[in-house]
Amino acid sequence: MQGQPPRGAATREAAERGGVNPQPRNPLHGLTLEAIVTALADHYGWDGLGERIPVRCFNVDPSVGSSLRFLRKTPWAREKVESLYLFMLREERRAGRG
């Protein structure tokens, strides 16, 4: 595969030139885990977040840093956080319409 651009490079180049977004309907695309955790903590508060996803990093001395360390090592918890974020977005969209 010599001479070919690294995988995904063509997509990045197209996006930089104003090309098609490779994931136009994915609301998580381009968001960092830090942005997701911060948005959830702002929306629900640490207590509310700990009730919805009962993990220690949200219930005992919570912080964005400790949460990120845990979530990066724990795929099942990260999936729950991402799902809750998507639910929050749907909730906000519904509230905006009604």
pLDDT digits (tens, 9 = 90+) for 18-30: 556 677 788 888 8
pLDDT score of 94? 92
pLDDT tops 60 at residue 80? yes
Give the pLDDT score at 48.
97
Q: How far apart are CA 49 and CA 47, in angstroms?
A: 5
Average pLDDT over residues 39-65: 96
Give the mean pLDDT of 11-37. 75
The proportion of the chain whose per-residue pLDDT surpasses 70, expressed as a percent, equals: 77
Distance from the Cα of residue 57 to its chain's centroid? 17
